[in-house]
A and B are shown apart, each in its own frame.
Chain A
């Protein structure tokens, strides 16, 4: 199965700062990669699919890039509601797999 490794595990930033999250796949997933946001006690929320497409209703400050094995989620300017855990997911190969998550916390 494809292993997704996210880094860093925790990102401590202040509101207004830029967040850059990384997801590396153990083998190529082409662009079949998604990013989800999860807040405590809530279900995951789809942010980005096909590596770079924003899901419906997702603000433009969220952007995704990458292909093959290296992917990035960028939040251009952190809003208070963006502090959460972010997961990447690949849908290239069975089984679908998730990264272990990156927590974006308030510095």
Chain B
């Protein structure tokens, strides 16, 4: 059974840092691209970052570029999101999501349960 379990969320002051983790199991983690997607309270979904299976391609939403860093450790079946210089508007539930490839594109077929990040003084 495919499982994605996020951890590392919590309350942090503006300007602070937090590192999120996503533990993967039930599939060959090293073969899949991964995403972080967030959802502010009561709002819609916002893509945050993407990393390919070998970490050769990484991309970020403009809203987090220069502040967030995505990484992965295929030996540990884990995905990470290092978040620095946090702002109130980064408050959200953060989901990790696995991408699968179809003829021409990728889609996120499995999602974790999410971890809540609250940025507040």
Q: Which residues on A are within 8 Å of B, measured CB to CB? A: 30, 32, 34, 36, 38, 42-46, 49-50, 53, 55-56, 87, 89, 91-92, 94-101
Inter-chain CB contacts under 8 Å: number: 59
User: Considering the complex of A and B, which 3 residue pairs feature the smallest CB-CB distances, nearest first?
Assistant: A43-B111, A49-B107, A98-B45
Residues of B within 8 A of A49 (CB): 102, 107, 109
Known: A43-B113, A49-B102. Contact between A98 and B59, CB under 8 A?
no
In the complex, the answer to whether A91 meets B45 with C-beta atoms within 8 Å is no
Known: A43-B95, A43-B112, A53-B102. Contact between A34 and B107, CB under 8 A?
yes
Interface SS, A side:
loop
Please report the C-alpha to C-alpha distance between residue A36 and residue B105 in the assembled complex, in whole angstroms: 16
Instruction: Give 10 A-B pairs besides A89-B107, A96-B35 with Cβ atoms closer than 8 angstroms.
Output: A44-B37, A46-B107, A50-B102, A53-B102, A91-B107, A92-B105, A94-B59, A95-B47, A97-B47, A98-B45
Please report the C-alpha to C-alpha distance between residue A50 and residue B95 in the assembled complex, in whole angstroms: 22
Other-chain residue from A44, A50, A53, A55 in contact with B45 (beta carbon distance below 8 A): A44
Interface SS, B side:
strand
In the complex, the answer to whether A96 meets B102 with C-beta atoms within 8 Å is no
Other-chain residue from B35, B44, B105 in contact with A87 (beta carbon distance below 8 A): B44
Nearest-neighbour CB distance to chain B for A19, whole angstroms, equals: 19
Nearest-neighbour CB distance to chain B for A13, whole angstroms, equals: 21
* Residue from B103, B111, B114 whose CB has the most chain A CB atoms within 10 Å: B111
* Residue from B35, B44, B114 whose CB has the most chain A CB atoms within 10 Å: B44
In the complex, the answer to whether A95 meets B107 with C-beta atoms within 8 Å is no
